[in-house]
Amino acid sequence: MKRLIIPTLLALLVAGCSSTPDTAEQTGAPVDSRGANDGKIATVTAGNMDSRKLPPELTDPKNILSKRSVYFDYDKFDIKAEYKDLVAAHAKFLNNNRQFKMLIQGNTDERGSREYNLALGQKRADAIKKQLVLLGAREEQVESVSLGEEKPKNPGQNEAAWAENRRGDMLYSGEF
């Protein structure tokens, strides 16, 4: 009889000390919500865009500095030779205009998982940042972020569209 009473008392003691989890803390965002927008592409525009605050060389379509995108090959994050002069021109501008800051947004096409695309987008943005810093921009002038597949330039479902989406966009203060 003693053998049954002690384990029963211990079991009651342990059960009385336990707590039930708070269900409010367990709710969170779904891990994958790709279907939440019914297949529509979200259009994202640069906030606080005021081109009047930017010097004319950044907005003149005849100037190389008006070009702000570096395009990448599929599954790559190395800057192609055709974009080296573009990145060098932006590095020179940043070096000569220390008051400006730049945000580089790394983008991918929709193929691959979200996690993979976020990592690849970050590698692309970091590659551009590294090149800018090597060419004279200050580290604190340039920030790199990944948008992954979330800001497509072209919503199409073919190689031409995907090629437009594999890019790094360079935005200056006042454009982000």
CA atoms within 13 A on the CB side of 85: 4
Does the pLDDT of residue 113 top 50, yes or no? yes
Q: What percent of the chain has pLDDT over 70?
A: 72
Domains of the chain by range and CATH? Answer: 66-176 (3.30.1330.60)
Split at pLDDT 50, 70, 90, the class of 12 is: low
Mean pLDDT (whole number) for 105-128: 97
pLDDT in tens, 24-36: 444 444 444 444 4
138-155 mean pLDDT: 97
Report the chain's mean pLDDT, rounded to a whole number. Answer: 84
The reported pLDDT for the residue numbered 5 is 73
Q: How many CB atoms within 10 Å of residue 10?
A: 10
Q: What Å distances lie between residue 16 and 11, 13, 46, 163, 173, CA to CA? A: 9, 5, 56, 62, 59
As given in the structure block, the two tokens for residue 85 are 């002069």
pLDDT band at 53 (very low <50, low <70, confident <90, very high): confident
Residue 41 has pLDDT above 60, yes or no: no
Contact yes or no for 55/48 (Cβ under 8 A): no
Q: Which amino acid is at 108?
A: T
Per DSSP, the three-state class of 142 is: strand
HEC string of 57-124 equals HHHCCCCHHHCCEEECCCCCCCCCHHHHHHHHHHHHHHHHCCCCCEEEEEECCCCCCHHHHHHHHHHH
For residue 25, the surrounding DSSP H or E stretch is helix 23-26
Rg (CA), the chain: 25
Specify the pTM: 0.72
* Mean pLDDT on 63-81: 98
